[in-house]
Amino acid sequence: MQIETVQTDELEGKALEWAVLKAIGGSWPEGVHSTWDKAGYLITNLNIFLSSGGHKFMFIAYLDERAPSVGRSLPEAVYRAVVHSVMGSWISVPVSLLKT
């Protein structure tokens, strides 16, 4: 399997969800299915702070205010914040996930 190291704040789609699952230990709890359910679960259980960023389609989420993560949607920002807080600014991801 080929691996590529990418910035956490550039992760999206399947690669981002893969990284979140890796950061939280493997799987979503039962009953948590949609993107919004998953973001809500993370916000509630990890005490994530949120901001609109003052611009349309710009959301900011962070567990540590010194390391905010930005996304085009609230779930994207929340997912990136979780990955950033657990795994850092750079993460090694299977290349196959980056192309989907």
Q: What is the pLDDT of residue 100?
A: 62
Q: What is the pLDDT of residue 3?
A: 93
For the chain of 100 residues, list the mean pLDDT of each consecutive stretch of 10.
Answer: 92 95 93 94 93 81 84 94 94 88
Which letter does DSSP use for residue 85 in this model?
A: H
Q: What is the pLDDT of residue 41?
A: 95
Q: What is the pLDDT of residue 14?
A: 94
Rounded to two decimals, the pTM is 0.91
35-51: burial string, b at 16+ Cβ within 10 Å, e else: eeebbebbbeebebeee
